[in-house]
Each structure stands twice: as structure tokens, then as C-alpha cells.
Amino acid sequence: MEEGRSTASAIEADSVSLSQRRSNFIYQFTQQSLPACKPVLSPVWVVSVFFVVGVIFIPVGIGCLHASRSVVEIAYRYDVECIPAPFRGNKLAYIANDFIPKNCTKHLKVPRSMKAPIYVYYQLDNYYQNHRRYVKSRSDRQLLHGLEYPDIGLCTPEDVINGLPVVPCGLVAWSMFNDTFSFFRGVHELNVNRKNIAWKSDRDHKFGKHVFPFNFQNGSLIGGARLDPNIPLSDQEDLIVWMRTSALPSFRKLYGRIEEDLDADDTISVKLLNNYNTYSFSGSKKIVLSTSSWLGGHNNFLGIAYLSIGSSFIFVAFLFLMLHIQNPRSYVDTSNISWNWKHISD
Amino acid sequence: MVKEGIEDFQRKKQDIEINNRKVKVHQAARELGFEFFKRTQTSVLINELNLVTRQLVERSYKLLNILEFNSARKRMSVIVRDEEGKLLLLCKGADSVMFERLSNNGRQYEEKTREHCNEYADAGLRTLILACATAVEDKLQQGVPECIDKLARAGIKLWVLTGDKMETAINIGYACSLLRQGMKQIIITLESPEIKALEKNGEKSELAMASKDSVLRQITEGKAQVAKITSEAFALIIDGKSLAYALEDDVKKLFLELAVGCASVICCRSSPKQKALVTRLVKDGTTKTTLAIGDGANDVGMLQEADIGIGISGVEGMQAVMSSDIAIAQFRFLEHLLLVHGHWCYRRISTMICYFFYKNITFGITIFLYEAYTSFSGQPAYNDWFLSFYNVLFTSMPVIALGVFDQDVSARFCLKFPMLYQEGVQNLLFSWHRVTGWMLNGLGSAVIIFFFCAKALSPEAFNEEGKTADFQIFGATIKFVFEATSFSTPKTSESKLTPARKIIQNALDFRHAAAKVKGFCSKGSTKAVLYLHDFRSSFFAYSLVFFITLCGSFSGMKMTICNSTKQWKSYVDE
């Protein structure tokens, strides 16, 4: 092609148009001569990149770890503790029996001072909210439009009860969590803000303002909470939070926010109603109080990951630097390429 | 002295006679409309009467050679080239000598001419017969010898299958450096006297047997020669008649072995069918890929038979082009086609396939790992739209860009180091070792991506508002992270490939290039050569995976991504 070009230039009378043509993008694209750069891994580059990245990662890791450690978290598993002694051997009977009172009071100790807002979560373990049949069993259209939307076949078996459609239909809504919690510091009850716990976009766009629960939990099998038929779905924040299915079998969902500070060594009493049945599949329930940081909850993983990767990068950078100082090679020297080693020993 | 004087006189008399005769011929020619009016040192100008337009046209003929009259030959010849490039050999001499020289299909006027000669002789005139033979110079295209030389240096074996005579073919062979001075020639031909005798009087079956024996013997001798002398290069030249016997089922294996052992093979006087048969023989007999290039209708069989058929569009019409896989305009473009585009194409396709496997394996394995967390119910980790668009939209562009733009060395280098072409011939970039390497890379990437994201995102809240990561956020984060990873990995993984560069050590040019390498900054391809086997480059690739994963998971948790995802999700979900 080079000879082609040189003869072309000899023939071409107007050289201005030729050079214009050659800098034309289309010409370069079709001739495969677009300008490009090809980074080459030379020792200088490798060592410096590893070093720079390591140096960046370590403070980031320390920052993440600090943020995570600044979060104070209290988690307490109550599902076994809250079963009265006579029923410890037969948990299912206990939970299914509506006449046994499910009240339970537990005491939590605050380890460090916690600043408002303090988030209250309930954590469920071994609960596969990400099971395919379960995730499928809902109708988002119906949540938005209510009874006007008739096509709720996916919600089986919780779509029609006694010939009438169920709003909200599906297993996800049917299995809504119904334990309740209230918190006391001494005698004074802590105010738990149950508003604004769901995602704003869900409240505004996914749950209808004029959709009311209808024919809900009317069947023979009660799966979870009952809903007030007078409150529209967009205001039923517990439902909205529950309907956001989790990704993993162990998850937390936001219950509410405590807007008071808690001091270290305070004792918080939790009065809870242990209604929800996790005993039939050996799941567990926990109550969690947690502050938050810019990074979220108490999760050391990210900080530790950044730190370890950052330090290993710096270690590798030094290792390569030592190797390079010990066995330096210029670009032209081919004697150290692995397939040339044999020739050296000849 | 008297004797000399007499000889002198006789010569002068002859000259005058000759001159007289010449003058008379000129006069006669002028009467018929052909006037010779000028002669320069190298050419002759003639006013010719164009019989169609009845106009006198001036034409010049370049004098190439004059073979003077000589009593042994009894004739004089002159070789001229006319304006169109056609070569003419004109001969004049005594009738006995000239009639012998006529070919069988030029004899239509022989009887008439003899009659006329006899009439003239009877009338006391001296007769001369003038005859002409024509030759057409088929010039080699521009750049052909260099092209052939480059391809030979690339390790490509070249065979010539032509319909020309043996002498012409050998001449062309020398002209395009297929045959070199030091090469020994093994010539297999049926021009021996015994065969010729049988041709004239023997029967067909006897002729066939003798021919076959002769060919077989010559092949065996040739093989013995090649086996004995290993230091020299051999050239095999075989003509059409022998080829017919050499391609018979019991002989063709031997013939192929002999041909493959020679550096060049020239088959002359081969028919189109034989060209196709030879191509098929090489294709089936060896495991190599065959490429046939031709420009005429007689090459069509060969072009169709070969693995790749290349037609040259040009003077001889478009039949070759129409039956070919690739058409080019000049022979010399073949070197660019093979050494640059072929080289790039091989590399691009193999890398693209490996990359495609990698990204899909990563994708599949993240989903598979997620299943362990959904009690194997079959819930995919990602939204349906993500699943559908993954290959079409999200990860298609890098693969396409790699397949379209990737150049390991520039075109200039490809042509400068023809040996780089061997990378494709030896299939170094698509070995099992490499494919599995990419797949394992995919497995490793998937594991890292999935577990980093899972551990980082759950079960605690991920942002200041205390929100926890739900299924959609989880899927979106993993998606983002591993698209970022898959964009960056190919370029870094690429550095740990190609034991192909071993080939370069054999090329003499490499030492020159190595010295010049310092002058090269942006086109660091030769530099890359020297570091390709470093383990540091593969480590770098993996470190980049970690880096991207971490950055991805970190930013994946930040409000911007989550907010935008949740907003988008709310509109997309039905």
C-alpha cells in the first residue's frame, strides 16, 4: 500500500486535496490507519502504576474502615428467646395459635453513644425472598392500578379468594412481615418514625395513590400481616418496604427511624409482638438498631478489601522494583527472553 | 593478390546483386502501399496503407536484433517489435530452407507459393521466401518478483502452474526469483528420443506404458537426489504430458512427496484440468491450506479447487474474478492481502472469539453462583432486560472494536517481517492453551466480581439513608462492575500471549529492527515483543480486575448509581 500511495501522489496533481483526503476520518477508517496508541508494559510503567494505585487504595481503605467502624450496631436475635418455655419444644404450635399472646420484652444495651437518626431494622435469615416462584408471584401493574387491572394470573395461588380478586395479590404481599416493635428508654417511649422508610420512587410511582387493599388475607391460610383497607397502598410503607424483594437469603428491612440520640450504657427495652412464623423453615429473626455513615451500615468488608489490595499492590510494586534493579534489561537486549535462554548456555 | 581481387570482385558483385534485389523489393512493396522511408539506429519507420481506411499510416518498428545471412542457416532473420508491443520474427531465405521451417498450420499457401516460385524460376528470376513468426511478450506485472520473494520469506511455498512452454516457464521462474542461480533443477519430461520414437510409430498402450515408466523413474531419481543432498534447494519442473502420468493414483503420492521436498515447483504446459488436479492433490495430500491465484479463464478450475481462490481482474477478462473468493487488481497486492490483512484478520478473529467466550463465561458463572443463594430455584441475578441486552448492547461494542481495529504490529512491520505470518499458519493464537486460559480468566473474574459485590452490599445498609440493597441494586451493581472489567481485561490479557514471537528470532531482519527500536516511541510493537513472556503482565491483568471490581463495587454503592437505577427501575418494571 505504501508503494500505491507514493505512485498515487506522483500522479495526483493537486496535493492539497490529497492531504485533506488522507486526514479524513473515513479514509483513515477504511485504510485502517486511524491514530492509535498501544501501551507497552515496561518496568517503569508497571511499577509506578502498581505503586500509585496502592497508594490511592490504602487511604481509601482506611477511610472506609473508619466509616464502617464509626457505625454502632446492636443486633439481637429474638425468635428463640421470645418463645415461652412450655412451647420451646413445639414452636409451630405456638406460632400458629392465635390465642397465645405473642408479647415479648427484651433488653438491649447500647455499647457506644448513637447519634440520631438511628435506623431500626428487622433481619431475617434463611429466608429466600429471592426464590424464583416467590419473586414472580406479584403484579406490579395491579399495585399501581388496583382492581382496574384484571390480569393477575402470575399471582397464583394468592390471586383470587372466594371468586374475588385480591389486592395486593401474590405471595410477596401475602407473606408480609408482621412483628411490631416499640422501644423504651426507662419509662419514656422512644418515638419510632414509620414514615419515609420506603424508597421515594416506590411511593410515588409504583404503588397507586387510589389503590386500597381488598379481599386481602381472607383465605384460610394467613401468611403475614393484615392491611388496613382504608389506607391507600402508596401510604402503606411497611408493605412497600416488604415488596422490595431482597437479593440474598439473609436480609434486613427498614422498620423505622428513632430520632433521638442514645447514650452509651443506656438500656433500651424492646416490646415486641412475635407474630411472624419463621419456625417452619428454621429461619431466624433479629432486631437491629444501627446508625449510618456516608458508606452505610457496619460493613468492614470494603475497607478491608481496599486495604489488603492496596498493600499487596505496594508489595508487588516493591517486588518488581527489586527484580528490575537486580536484573535490568534495556529494550534492545533480547538475551533474556525465555526462548533465548538455551542459547546462552550453549 | 589476384585471388583476393577476384574474391573482392565477387563479393562486390554479390553486394550489388543483393542491393539490387533489395531495391527491387522496396519498389514492389511501395507499389502495394508499404513504403519504407526512414531508418534510425534502433527503429525502422514505414508508411503503411491501412486497407480499411485507405490511408497511409506511419508506423515504427523497433529493431531488436538482426541475424545476418549465414551459409549454414541459409537465411537471414530480423526481430522487430511493433508499436503494440508485439514481437515479430521475419525470415528470408532460400525456398528449400524456408519451406522446412513452416509449421503445419501455416502451410495453406505452400502449394501456391511453390507454384509461384517455380514460375519465377522458370522466368529466370531468383526467388526468396519471406516468412514471419510472431511472439507476444507477456510482461511480468510490476512488483511481482518482490512479492514472490516476500511470500517465500513468509514461509509460503509457491508453485507455478502454467500453460506455457518449459523454456518460457523457466525464464519466468528466473525473472520472478522463484528459481535462483544456486538451485538444482529436477526436470521431468517426456521429450526423450525413445518416447518420441514411440509417439511416431508405436501404439497407444505401449506409448502409455513407456511414458508412465519413464515418469516414475524420473520421479524416483528426483526423490533420491533430494534425499541425498540436503544442503541445496531443488526446483522441480514438470511438463503437461508427464503430469498426466504423475497424477495417476499409484504415482501421485510419490510425485507429491517429491514436489513437497523441493523449494519451488513449476508445472508447464498444464491444462486447466491438470491445474485443478494438482491443487486438489496438494490440498488433500498435505494438511496445508492452499491458495490459488490466477487471472485467466484457464485458472477457474484451480481457483475453485483451492481453499482460497484469488482472481486478478485485468486484461484477460473477468472469468477468474467471478469464480474466485477474493479479487484483486494486481498480483503484487497479494503480499499486502496475506501478510497484512491475513495476519491481522487471524489475530482479530482468534482474539475476538476468546474474548466472547470470556465475557459469556463470566456472565454465566455469576448467575450460576447466585443460584446457590436462591436455593437453586432458577432466579437469575439480573433483570430480564439486562439478560437480553447483555450481548447485544452492553458488551457488543468492545468486542466489535477489537475485531475491527486491533493491530498488533503496523502494516509496515507486517511487510517488513514476513515471518510474522507464520503465527497464523502455525495456529499459535488459538491453541487450547490460550482458549482455556481465557476461560479460566472468565471463571476467576466471575468469582471475584460476585463475591466482592455480595459481601460489600449486604446485609447492612449501603447508603446514608439506611436503605438496604435489594435484588435490583445487587444485580445492577454486579452488572456494572463486570462490564467495566470485561472492557479492560482483553487489552491487558493480550500481553501474555503469543509464543509466536519465537519465530522472529529466526528472521535475520529482527536484528536490524532491534537496533532501530530505540527510535520508535508510539509504535512499541517490537518492545512489546521483548516483554511478552513476563509474568508481570498477567499479574497486571488480574490486578486490574481487582482494581476495577473494587472501584465498581465502591461506586456501585454510592447514591448516584443507586438513585439512577431505582428511578430507571421504576419506569421499566411492569
Please check the confidence at residue B353 and state whether its pLDDT lies above 90. Answer: yes
pLDDT at residue B356 in the model: 92
Whether A290 and B373 lie within 8 Å, measured CB to CB: no
Least confident of A192-206, B74-88, B117-131: B117-131
Is A100 found in the same domain as A63? no
The whole-model pTM stands at 0.72
Mean of per-residue pLDDT scores for chain B: 78
The whole-number average pLDDT for the span B7-28 is 65
Please check the confidence at residue B568 and state whether its pLDDT lies above 50. Answer: no
Is A158 found in the same domain as A213? yes
Region class of A32: left (phi > 0), else alpha (psi between -120 and 50), else beta: left
Of B411, B469, B499, the CB nearest to A247: B469
d(CA B237, CA B165): 11
**Helix ranges restricted to H, B144-186:** 144-153, 166-175
Whether A340 and B465 lie within 8 Å, measured CB to CB: no
Residue A341 lies in a domain: no
Residue B421 CB-density burial (10 A; 0-12 exposed, 13-18 middle, 19+ buried)? buried
Is A313 found in the same domain as A189? no
How many angstroms away from the CA of A252 is the closest CA of chain B? 6
How many angstroms away from the CA of B307 is the closest CA of chain A? 25
Least confident of B75-89, B119-133, B498-512: B498-512
Most confident of B93-107, B151-165, B540-554: B151-165
> Helix B535-557 to helix B471-494 angle, to the nearest 10 degrees?
160
Least confident of B71-85, B109-123, B280-294, B414-428: B109-123
Is A262 found in the same domain as A119? yes
Is A272 found in the same domain as A155? yes
Whether B336 and A302 lie within 8 Å, measured CB to CB: no
> Sign of the CA dihedral A68, A69, A73, A74?
positive
Residue A130 lies in a domain: yes
Of A1, A36, A201, the CB nearest to B336: A1
Q: What is the pLDDT of residues B229-245, one digit of tens each?
A: 888 889 999 988 899 99
B137: confidence class by pLDDT, cuts 50, 70, 90: low
Nearest to B165 by CA among B268, B296, B238: B268
Please tell me if residue A321 touches chain B, with a CB cutoff of 8 Å. Answer: no
How many angstroms away from the CA of A294 is the closest CA of chain B? 5
Residue A271 near residue A112 (C-beta atoms within 8 A): no
Of A46, A244, A248, the CB nearest to B454: A248
Asked, as a colleague might, if the bond just before A86 is cis with ω within 30 of 0, I would say no
Q: What is the pLDDT of residues B280-305, one digit of tens each?
A: 999 999 988 999 999 888 899 999 99
Residues with Cβ within 8 Å of B111's Cβ and at least 6 positions away in sequence, in order, are none
Cα angle B83, B87, B89; round to 5:
125
> Sign of the CA dihedral B521, B523, B525, B526?
negative
pLDDT at residue A65 in the model: 92
Residues with Cβ within 8 Å of B384's Cβ and at least 6 positions away in sequence, in order, are none
pLDDT at residue B298 in the model: 87
pLDDT at residue B275 in the model: 93
Query: Hey, what's the torsion of the CAs at B63, B67, B69, B74, to 10 degrees?
Result: -120
Residue B497 near residue B436 (C-beta atoms within 8 A): no
Is A251 found in the same domain as A231? yes
Please tell me if residue A242 touches chain B, with a CB cutoff of 8 Å. Answer: no
Q: What is the pLDDT of residues A52-80, one digit of tens each?
A: 999 999 999 999 999 889 999 999 999 88
Please tell me if residue A132 touches chain B, with a CB cutoff of 8 Å. Answer: yes
Is A313 found in the same domain as A256? no
B390: confidence class by pLDDT, cuts 50, 70, 90: confident
- Percent residues over pLDDT 90 in chain B: 24
- Percent residues over pLDDT 70 in chain A: 89
Residue A143 near residue A235 (C-beta atoms within 8 A): no
Of A41, A60, A245, the CB nearest to B540: A41
Nearest to B279 by CA among B254, B252, B319, B261: B252
Please provide the DSSP assignment of A238-264 as one string: HHHHHHS-BSSSSEEEEEEEE-S-B-T
Nearest CA in chain A to B515: A332
Cα angle B500, B503, B507; round to 5:
150
Please check the confidence at residue B566 and state whether its pLDDT lies above 90. Answer: no
Number of domains in chain A: 3
Is A116 found in the same domain as A52? no
B555: confidence class by pLDDT, cuts 50, 70, 90: low
d(CA B146, CA B151): 9
Q: Which residues of A touch B574 (CB under 8 A)?
A: 140-141
pLDDT at residue B570 in the model: 44
The 3 state secondary structure assigned to A84-105 is CHHHCCCHHHHHHCCCCCCEEE
Whether B461 and A244 lie within 8 Å, measured CB to CB: no
Is A274 found in the same domain as A198? yes
Q: Cell numbers 505470518 label which residue?
A: B421
Nearest to B266 by CA among B417, B372, B164: B164
Is A87 found in the same domain as A17? no
Cα angle A130, A132, A136; round to 5:
100
pLDDT at residue B540 in the model: 56
User: Which range marks the domain in which residue A24 is found?
Assistant: 1-34
Residue A287 lies in a domain: yes
Residue A340 lies in a domain: no
Radius of gyration of chain A (CA): 32
Mean of per-residue pLDDT scores for chain A: 85
Residue A336 lies in a domain: no
Binding residue numbers of B for Mg(2+): 295, 299
pLDDT at residue A6 in the model: 44
Residue A343 lies in a domain: no
Residue A203 lies in a domain: yes
Q: Cell numbers 565477387 label which residue?
A: B10
Higher local confidence (pLDDT), B284 or A345: B284
Contacts by A198-204, CB closer than 8 A, 24 or more apart? A198/A237, A198/A240, A198/A241, A198/A244, A198/A254, A199/A240, A199/A244, A199/B467, A199/B566, A201/B566, A201/B567, A201/B569, A201/B570, A202/A240, A202/A243, A202/A244, A202/B570, A203/A234, A203/A235, A203/A237, A203/A240, A204/A234
pLDDT at residue B386 in the model: 84
Describe the strand order of the beta sheet including A103-109 as a list of residue ranges: A103-109, A267-273, A180-185, A188-190
pLDDT at residue B511 in the model: 38
d(CA A338, CA A318): 23
A34: its cell numbers: 486511524
Neighbours of A108 (CB within 10 A): 18
Residue A122 lies in a domain: yes
How many angstroms away from the CA of B205 is the closest CA of chain A? 55
Q: What is the pLDDT of residues B142-153, one digit of tens each?
A: 899 899 989 988
B328: its cell numbers: 484483486
Q: Which residues of B touch A332 (CB under 8 A)?
A: 514-515, 517-518
Cα angle B554, B556, B561; round to 5:
135
Please provide the DSSP assignment of A38-83 as one string: -----HHHHHHHHHHHHHHHHHHHHHHHHHHHH--EEEEE-TTTTS
Please tell me if residue A195 touches chain B, with a CB cutoff of 8 Å. Answer: no
A2: confidence class by pLDDT, cuts 50, 70, 90: very low
Nearest CA in chain A to B473: A247
- Percent residues over pLDDT 90 in chain A: 32
Q: What is the pLDDT of residues B30-43, one digit of tens each?
A: 877 777 878 888 88
Q: What is the pLDDT of residues B199-211, one digit of tens each?
A: 788 788 888 888 8
Please tell me if residue A2 touches chain B, with a CB cutoff of 8 Å. Answer: yes
Higher local confidence (pLDDT), A128 or B472: A128
Amino acid found at B484: A
Residue A179 CB-density burial (10 A; 0-12 exposed, 13-18 middle, 19+ buried)? buried
Q: Which residues of B touch A41 (CB under 8 A)?
A: 495, 528, 531, 534, 536-537, 540
Please tell me if residue A94 touches chain B, with a CB cutoff of 8 Å. Answer: no
Radius of gyration of chain B (CA): 38
Whether A128 and B502 lie within 8 Å, measured CB to CB: no
pLDDT at residue B515 in the model: 34
Please check the confidence at residue A121 and state whether its pLDDT lies above 70. Answer: yes
Q: Which residues of A touch B381 (CB under 8 A)?
A: 247
Is A220 found in the same domain as A321? no
Distances (CA, A) of B67 to B19, B76, B168, B327: 18, 6, 21, 44
* Cα within 13 Å of Cα(A255), Cβ side: 24
Is A284 found in the same domain as A253? yes
Please check the confidence at residue A4 and state whether its pLDDT lies above 60. Answer: no
| Domain edge (last residue) among A291, A313, A341 | A291
How many angstroms away from the CA of A81 is the closest CA of chain B? 22
Least confident of B364-368, B400-404, B466-470: B466-470
